[in-house]
Amino acid sequence: MLKDKISQDTARYGVVGLGYVGLPLAVEFAKAGIQVTGFDVDASKVERLCKGDSYIEDVPNGELASCVENGTFTATTDFDELAAMDVISICVPTPLSKTRDPDMSFVMKATDAVAKRLRAGQLIILESTTYPGTTDELVRPALEHSGLRTGEDFHLAFSPERVDPSNPTYGIKNTPKVVGGVDEESGELARSFCSRAIDDVHKVSSAAAAEMSKLLENTFRSVNIGLVNEVAIMCHRLGMDVWEVIDAAATKPFGFMKFVPGPGLGGHCIPIDPFYLSWKLRTLNYRARFIELAGEVNSEMPHYCVKLVTDVLNDAGRSVRGSRILLLGIAYKNDVADTRESPALDILELLQERGADVVYSDPFVPAYRQGDALLESVPLDKEELERCDCLVVTCRHSGVDFDMVARHARAIVDTRNAYPRNARRPGGEGGARIVKL
C-alpha cells in the first residue's frame, strides 16, 4: 500500500516540470533520501541535470551532484517512466493570456501525460498555482478518463508551491507547506508524503481550500503593494519622501505591515496569481474589485517611472528621444537572475518606444533576448555612466557600488530607495541629481 511505502521511505517520487518550482522540490526530496525522477520535455535540461549541473540558482551544483551520485535523483524525457512512480507532482507553468484568462494548456498536457500512464495506488499532486476548482474540475476528469476512479483507484491532491527565489532564510524544507486532497484519504497521504522532506505541513479540508490559500497569499501582497505604490505617487505630488513616511509608519508594533513601492510587480506569482481568482469570480458574475484596482495601479508603475525619467531629462533641457538611458538591473528583484514579468523590461520598452537609446547593466543577467535582438549588459564603470543622460535604479543588487554610480552619473531616478532621503548630489558638485520614487 502507498501508506506503507511512504512511511518506509520506499515510495518513488516523480516531478513533472523541472523549472523554478519543480527542480528545487525534487532535489529537496532527493536530499531526504526519497528516490526522485524528474520529467521534462527539454532534453538539454535533462542532460545537464544528469551531469549534476544545475540551471536554477536555488539548487547548488554540489547538492544536485551529490543526489545524482548517490542515486536519489535522476532526470528523463521518457514519460513512460511515470507508470513506475508512486507519487507524482505536476509543477508546470500557469501563465495568463493577453486577456488575463488562465492558460491551462501546460497543466492539461502534463495531466494527460500522467493519465496515459496512470495506475492504481498512485498519488497525484498538482503544485501549479491556479484558480479554485482546477484540481476537481479539470485535473480529476482528465485523470479519470483513464478508467480509474479518484478515491477508489488513485489519489489526488493540491499543494501550492511557495518558492521565493534567492531567499536566504526560507527554502523548500523550512517553508510550511499547505496540502488539500479531493477526499480525506488523498489529503492525508499528501500530508504524510510531504512531511518526509518538509518540516511543517498544514492539511486543509479540500483541494479547493489549498488552491484558494495560495491566491489569498499573493492577492494580499498585490493589493498592499498597489496601495503603497499609490501612496508613493501621492507623496511625490505632495513633495514628501514616501520612504520616510513608510519607515515612520513601520515603527508601530501592531496593526501595520511594511510594504515598499517599486517600479512595478515582477516574478512568476504576484503579477499573475490574483487574476486567476478574478477570472474565476467573473464566471460567477462577481467583480473582484480590490484585485482589479491593485492590478491597475501596479501595472501603471512602469509608466510612472518613465514619467519621472522624462521630467528629469526635461529639467536638464533634453528630451527622451535621443537620450542614452541606463537601467541598473533588469531582473524582477534584487540579487536574482530571474527576469520573468520584470517591470524593468516594461520600462525599457516604453523608453525605446519614445526614441531613447536604452542600455542596461545587471551582474546577474549578462544577456537578454528582446525579440530578435540580443541585449548585453554593459559595464557599470565611470566611462559608461558619463555617457548616459540618465540612470534608472530598477534593482538594488547588493554588489553594486551606488556611491560610485552617484559620483559619475548625470541624473538618477531611484525606484528602489538605493540612496538616502533627500539625496541630491552625494558626489559633491559633480555628482548626480537624484530623484526618488
- Active-site amino acid positions: 269
Q: Return the H-helix or E-strand segment holding 326.
A: strand 324-328
Residue type (1 letter), 55: Y
Report the distance separating Cα 79 and Cα 376, nearest Å. 37
Q: Are 159 and 190 in contact (CB under 8 A)?
A: yes
User: How far is it between the farthest Cα atoms of the chain?
Assistant: 77
Report the distance separating Cα 127 and Cα 26, nearest Å. 12
Report the distance separating Cα 129 and Cα 90, nearest Å. 10
Distance of CA 406 to the CA centre of its chain: 30
Q: Given CA atoms 237, 240, 245, 246 in this order, what sign does their dihedral have?
A: positive
Of the candidates 127, 131, 97, the residue with the CA atom closest to the CA atom of residue 22: 127
Do the bridges between strand 367-370 and strand 123-126 make them parallel or antiparallel, or are there none, so unpaired? unpaired
Q: Are 339 and 367 in contact (CB under 8 A)?
A: no
Q: Are 124 and 143 in contact (CB under 8 A)?
A: yes
Of the candidates 56, 79, 52, 53, the residue with the CA atom closest to the CA atom of residue 68: 52
Residue partners of 141: CB distance under 8 A and separation at least 6:
none
Q: Are 147 and 180 in contact (CB under 8 A)?
A: no
Residue with cell 492590478: 295
